[in-house]
Structure 1
Amino acid sequence: MGAADRADTKLCLPAKHEAVGLFYHYNAHVNYLHYVIHAPSVLELLDHIYSRPVDKAEPTQVALLMGMLAGAAYFWNPTAGVFAAEEEAKHASSAWLEAALEVLHQARRVQAVCLEEVQATIIVSYLVYNLEGFSSRFRLLNTQALGLARDLSLHRMDDGPLRPSPHERLIQSEVKRRVWWHIVSVDWLLAFTPGPQEGTYLVNPRHMAVNLPQNADDQQLEHGRRLPPTQPTTMAYFLQRVRLAEICRHVADAMTEPPFGLRQTDSATLRDLDAHFVRFLDCLPPFFRLDGDDSSRQKIERQFPHVGIQRFLIHLGVHTRRSKLHQPWLARGYREPEFAFARDACLQSSRTVLQVARLLEEERQNHAFAPTSRLCTVVHHVTMAAVVLIVDLCFTKARGAEEERRKLEIVDACQILERSRRESAVAEKMLMELNDVLKRHKVHLPPVMPSTGPPIATVSADYSGFSEPVPGVQLPSGQQGNAAAPFNSLLHESVDIGFNLDIPAWDKLFADLNACPIFNTDLPDFSL
């Protein structure tokens, strides 16, 4: 990288005290979502960057710093300071993101691969995901991160002669394991996520030799301490995410027969796959369970403030994928007793997704956390849950109080998305795509008044069966009212033939939704 390129990099860096402040914000409000750094080491790196002229700075280290600055600015809130307003933070986030991507591009021409380059690629890919969804740029960055990690032989770091030497710092080895297993978990999670990559993954577990990272905080690593999986740490969420990724890989392996889906799966295999998700929920440590003891959870959350959000994100991820597992039998389960259990499981998990999404909103309101509505994963989960409920309502011809209750569930999901669109370009895009797809298939839902409907189903603490969740939770008072503008057209303007669609028509509807830009193509550039 030439001097001119380094000078351009300097223009993108804030004053050191602002960089330190934003890093602390990143470490507190973003890092817990994808823990691929060692915070004390990054602070040392930051001091190193600012202690010398910019033309002496390593480009990949600068890219790593700018990636974290971009993430901190994207998830900014007023408690972080530095910026006067949200729009200013968004502008800075966009500038740092593009600068980080450019520095990484330039560095690959002149510099050997290093760990900071892999970390920077992971961090910017996560931000791109939240801005664009499962875009081609996001998928390309994930593939690049995997290739870079293999160039560093991270996939063999615990294999015989490549095992870390006694002289290599324990911290460095653990960070490498965090980086590798993050890449692997994303790869396997995407294998059971709608998009062109569904049903495939790039990392074969037989072609790697990397121990799982320790369940230990950064400070505990420095003292060589490790804790059992049942103990809360900053790595506990990371390790549960790896467990879920392994289940998704197992489901993808069951999709290997043409047409590379689950439609030909027999009921016994389907029950076996479902059991993986049920066991996952049953084996969660108490602080990640929805039915845990409130007093003990409050004590844990005082030490680990983000455990609540992590708990909800885990359940969103599990239940969305459990619902997706049974989605092909949603309509068939209404007519074919053999697959009635699949319909029940699909609906139960979709309703749980919406309840957990509301709990996540409450968690955000009760704490000074960065806006969770900017998380693309929440938008994705809520959208797919809404579609499942719409399909089932139209297909089963519910009437009377049951019809009103189920309409209210759908409106509640629409309102969650409507609130998210104020802070998420992906949410706004999904609202438009969902509206377009449903109108294309001529699905009509009569307008409802949420304030007069029956209560929405709450989360069931029993994951061992397929029973419906128990009714009992009303919409929060602040969420009463009609669905907002995009869904008014959905509710009022479509042609009322939804109840007459046959099973192939609903299959086509799901296929169209899986082809939405959130899963396949680039969205327009983030508008600031």
Structure 2
Amino acid sequence: MEETFHRASNGDTEICMANILMLFSIFAGAALSWTTQFLSKLRALRKEARAAFKMYARLAMSILEHCPEKFPTSTPALAAVTTLAFVVSNASFSLFDVNMLRCRCMLMAKAMQIDRLDTFKSREERRLKGYNTVEIEVQRRIWWHMVSSDWLGAFSGSSQEGAYTFHPRHMNVKYPSNTDDTLITPNAQEEGLSWSFPTEMSAFLQRIKLANLCREIVDALPSAFSDSQEPEYAIIMMLDNKLQQYLKELPIFFQLDPMSIQQSQKVCEERPYIAWQRLSIHFSLHARLCRLHRPYHLIGSTNPDYAYSRTTCLSSAHTILDLRRSMDDLIPLAGIRPARLWTVMQHVSMAALTLATDVSFNPDSADAEAQKAKVMAAYQTLEKSREESSALMQGIQKNMQTLLATLQTQRTQRLIGPLQTPANGGAATVGDVRTRRDSPALAQFIEFPWNDGLTGDKTLTSNKVQTQRCGRYLGEGLPAEEDMDELWSEFLAAVPDLAPFQWTSLLDDMDFDFDSV
């Protein structure tokens, strides 16, 4: 940074654009992660932090767009683009911008042959010619960040669901060392500690391990693009066992039970970031458990063969909401605002909807009131997050408006004429769970009130009122308590009219993606 500022102040035209991009990306990330304490030290306002983020992010993007000839392929350049891609993926940029940056990272990494970094040939060349251990380690970190993000996204409920880009057979790259940065020097030996020992890389390595499991899940389940039957339930249980085993094998400092937390207190004092990483790991794990069992959640209410899925799905949904609240307690320590992270808000939304539907299908259950209170608390958390990231919340609100308007539309259609039943003429079965929008049974169910002007469907015109009402609840700040009660009442009244397979299909089609922002 000192070198870059020195060159710039002297009017030097040979400034390294990769260094400029890295600095702007870091500055943008810092502005995005502002906390009250941070602003107080700088005597700055929130709006100034938001303006700074937009400025630095746009400047960084413009460097890539307008200075390609001054941006040669190198490890610093790749690190800069990767940093920028990570920052904008959690902000209010379009999906196109995010994917273009990720694609650029992948192409640059492959041009540098990082995907074959640890083949026998590459290792022999390094042995004969010598190498910089720091550079090799950074390349491994960048590669595995890209790969793990790809695999995690393949099982997360986004538009990437069911597909990934990086195949393990098309790469030969060792995992990064489990070593603190200060111990990695240009001439250091490539070695690391056991994963059970806490370092600055511990959470990164656990993220890779979970990403591997997500890839295995995608490979084991039927393709999202086929109309094949549901997998045997034994496969779901096998995948569940893998995720549960991952949970059990976490190092003690990443375990969430009270005894492990107490035993890890000294580690957290020495390494304060461990407490935040511990929450993040469990948050991501339970989001995948909830996603795995969601197709069997409602069926498990009436069919004891799938009761485990309902119990696990609800337990993970509760855990997600509890972890989200715990994250707020660590804001001063971690310097991270969870309400500004897209993936955090996405998983919170789905967890809240999962609990809400369970209550609506089982209103007489012993814990119905407790679950209702938790869903309301989650809803308020989402609404309050508007102060942190209004653009991010617009995407979530759009989905919630679509959901509630669709439920109201379904109720209206029920009054006009009965819904078509599944093709077998009977009750929905497990095989019906993954029915998509092109299913005859869902043809009149998945209609959006604002489409009537295009489709000419006059039966939906009256439902514009419902859409406006949803907008009143979700688009204009935190509702009054009586409005919240009314919203809840309408939700409970509409959801039980849906068959379990219809509700699951609707959740599968929720558009939790950047292009909805």
Q: TM-score range by the shorter chain?
A: 0.7 to 0.9
- CA spacing shift, 1:199–1:261, aligned 2, 3 Å: farther
Separation (CA, whole Å) in 2 of partners of 1:258 and 1:102: 36
Give the C-alpha shift of residue 218 in structure 1.
Answer: 0.8
Which of the two has higher C-alpha Rg? 2
Separation (CA, whole Å) in 2 of partners of 1:494 and 1:228: 50
Separation (CA, whole Å) in 2 of partners of 1:379 and 1:45: 39
Pick aligned residue for 1:306 from 273, 279, 289: 273
Which residue is equivalent to 1:352? 319
- Note if 1:485 corresponds to 2:479: yes
Give the C-alpha shift of residue 231 in structure 1.
Answer: 1.1
- Note if 1:382 corresponds to 2:348: yes
Separation (CA, whole Å) in 2 of partners of 1:49 and 1:342: 61
- CA spacing shift, 1:252–1:171, aligned 2, 3 Å: same
Which residue is equivalent to 1:415? 380
Separation (CA, whole Å) in 2 of partners of 1:230 and 1:296: 14
Which residue is equivalent to 1:184? 147
Pick aligned residue for 1:122 from 82, 102, 105: 82
Q: For the Cα contact (< 8 Å) 2:157–2:508, is it kept in 1?
A: no
Give, as a single letter, the amino acid of the residue that structure 2 aligns with 1:172: E
Q: For the Cα contact (< 8 Å) 1:189–1:249, is it kept in 2?
A: yes
- CA spacing shift, 1:170–1:83, aligned 2, 3 Å: farther
User: Over residues 431-470 of structure 1, what are the superposed CA-to-partner deviations in whole Å (9 max), with x where a residue is unaligned?
Assistant: 34224312321399xxxxxxxxxxxxxxxxxxxxxxxxxx
Q: For the Cα contact (< 8 Å) 2:4–2:16, is it kept in 1?
A: no
Which residue is equivalent to 1:68? 26
What TM-score, normalized by structure 1, do the two folds share?
0.77
Give the C-alpha shift of residue 421 in structure 1.
Answer: 2.2
Give, as a single letter, the amino acid of the residue that structure 2 aligns with 1:510: L
Instruction: Let me know the Cα RMSD of the aligned residues.
Output: 2.6
Give the C-alpha shift of residue 317 in structure 1.
Answer: 0.4
Separation (CA, whole Å) in 2 of partners of 1:159 and 1:83: 52
SS in 2 for 1:226: coil
Which residue is equivalent to 1:439? 405
Kindly, what percent of the aligned residue pairs are identical?
29
Give the C-alpha shift of residue 277 in structure 1.
Answer: 0.8
- Note if 1:199 corresponds to 2:196: no
Separation (CA, whole Å) in 1 of partners of 2:270 and 2:228: 42
Pick aligned residue for 1:405 from 356, 365, 370: 370
Give, as a single letter, the amino acid of the residue that structure 2 aligns with 1:284: L
Which residue is equivalent to 2:471? none
Give, as a single letter, the amino acid of the residue that structure 2 aligns with 1:314: I
Give the C-alpha shift of residue 74 in structure 1.
Answer: 1.0
Give, as a single letter, the amino acid of the residue that structure 2 aligns with 1:127: V
Q: For the Cα contact (< 8 Å) 2:360–2:492, is it kept in 1?
A: no
Give, as a single letter, the amino acid of the residue that structure 1 aligns with 2:13: D
Which residue is equivalent to 2:395? 429
Give the C-alpha shift of residue 53 in structure 1.
Answer: 3.3
- Note if 1:216 corresponds to 2:179: yes
- CA spacing shift, 1:216–1:507, aligned 2, 3 Å: same
- CA spacing shift, 1:498–1:79, aligned 2, 3 Å: closer
Give the C-alpha shift of residue 402 in structure 1.
Answer: 2.5
Q: For the Cα contact (< 8 Å) 2:253–2:274, is it kept in 1?
A: yes
Separation (CA, whole Å) in 1 of partners of 2:311 and 2:93: 29
Which residue is equivalent to 2:247? 281
- Note if 1:236 corresponds to 2:202: yes
Which residue is equivalent to 2:465? none
Q: For the Cα contact (< 8 Å) 1:60–1:107, is it kept in 2?
A: no
- CA spacing shift, 1:320–1:499, aligned 2, 3 Å: same
Which residue is equivalent to 1:320? 287
Which residue is equivalent to 2:11? 53
Separation (CA, whole Å) in 1 of partners of 2:343 and 2:4: 30
Q: Which runs of 5+ in 1 are unaligned?
A: 1-42, 445-482, 524-528
Q: For the Cα contact (< 8 Å) 1:181–1:212, is it kept in 2?
A: yes
SS in 1 for 2:161: coil
Give the C-alpha shift of residue 169 in structure 1.
Answer: 1.2
Give, as a single letter, the amino acid of the residue that structure 2 aligns with 1:233: T
Give, as a single letter, the amino acid of the residue that structure 1 aligns with 2:295: P
Number of positions where the alignment pairs a residue of Structure 1 with one of Structure 2: 438
- Note if 1:140 corresponds to 2:82: no
Q: For the Cα contact (< 8 Å) 1:443–1:496, is it kept in 2?
A: no
User: Over residues 75-109 of structure 1, what are the superposed CA-to-partner deviations in whole Å (9 max), with x where a residue is unaligned?
Assistant: 12354444622211111111110110110223334
Pick aligned residue for 2:493 from 492, 496, 511: 496
User: Over residues 149-183 of structure 1, what are the superposed CA-to-partner deviations in whole Å (9 max), with x where a residue is unaligned?
Assistant: 11111101111222361421111110110011101
Which residue is equivalent to 1:250? 216
Give the C-alpha shift of residue 136 in structure 1.
Answer: 3.1
Greater displacement, 423-432 / 335-344:
423-432
- CA spacing shift, 1:289–1:89, aligned 2, 3 Å: same
Pick aligned residue for 2:113 from 144, 150, 153: 153
Separation (CA, whole Å) in 1 of partners of 2:4 and 2:262: 39
Separation (CA, whole Å) in 2 of partners of 1:370 and 1:137: 23
